[in-house]
Structure 1
Amino acid sequence: MAEAFPFELVSPEKQLVSGEATEVLIPGTEGYFQVFANHAPVMSTIKPGVVEVKMADGESSRYVIFGGFADVSPAGLTLLAQHAVDVADLDKADLERRIQDAKEDLADAKDEEARAKAADYLDQLTTLQTAF
């Protein structure tokens, strides 16, 4: 059995996970990296993507995150996400409708500010879509 370590996933809205994990796959800005027990200490920024977690009790879960920081230390792993969503809470059909609406909003944008806002929202939605 794999050795466990303390893991927390926290966003400004709430704490999504707090417990013992055996492995966590993280979308770092320099590429994905995996954390196991006794990992060397490291801090990394996180890019939007999917975090995959295997807990000590055998449960696995996936979370879409939108940036933040990962802190690996002898005390464990803490992910501080700008925003995070449990993949289990996503509705694929609803997400596809939102993406289509966002594409239309981007095409209809009247000025650069509206275009940038619509493009950012569309990027976030397509990041969510990668979870399926």
Structure 2
Amino acid sequence: MADTMQFDLVSPERNLVSVPVREVRLPGADGDLTAMPGHAPAIVNLRPGLVTVVAADGSQTEFAVTGGFAEINNESVTLLAERGHPRAEMTQAVFDEMMAQAHRRVQSAKERESAGEEIVAAAVKLLADMEALGTHIGLDPNHSNFPH
């Protein structure tokens, strides 16, 4: 079995990274998981959170994502993020904009008469996951005047 696998992280704005890695830790919608060389094929829905990439030398790099999905096979992980930023680029202003978008999704889901309880619940969960992401990386989810 190989010691590394290929990892590609793409967001609509840009290709964030394409490197060989020892492991990738993913914030799965159904729970966190770690992909390593030889992993069984899977497609994983992601929730907002941190993706941790461990290079062959053991160094780690983190990326904040707002969701998306990852395709895993025994030789690679391809992550298509709804929105993604290197951890170092996650400023309070960037996070505030992400939180505003999450609040808009909740409000939109609540306003649609055809929206079922599941859609509203999913939007509320997305908002809670975004708040948890901000708190985890030291940003204030209550910094701006978001409606609560």
Q: CA deviation at 1:39?
A: 0.5
Q: CA deviation at 1:126?
A: 2.4
Number of equivalences: 118
TM-score using structure 1 length:
0.72
* Gap regions ≥5 residues in structure 1: 107-111
* Gap regions ≥5 residues in structure 2: 112-122, 139-148
**What are the equivalent positions in structure 2 for 1:2-41 lying under 5 Å apart?**
3-41=3-41
Separation in structure 1 between the aligned mates of residue 82 and residue 21 of structure 2, nearest angstrom = 21
TM-score using structure 2 length:
0.65
Task: Note if 1:126 corresponds to 2:131.
Answer: yes
**What are the equivalent positions in structure 2 for 1:1-132 lying under 5 Å apart?**
3-91=3-91, 98=96, 113=108, 123=127, 126-129=131-134, 130-132=136-138
Q: CA deviation at 1:73?
A: 1.6
Q: Which structure shows the bigger proportion of residues in strand conformation?
A: 1
Separation in structure 2 between the aligned mates of residue 4 and residue 14 of structure 1, nearest angstrom = 24
SS at the partner of 1:79?
strand
Identity across aligned pairs (percent)? Answer: 33
Q: What is the CA RMSD across the aligned residues, in angstroms?
A: 3.2
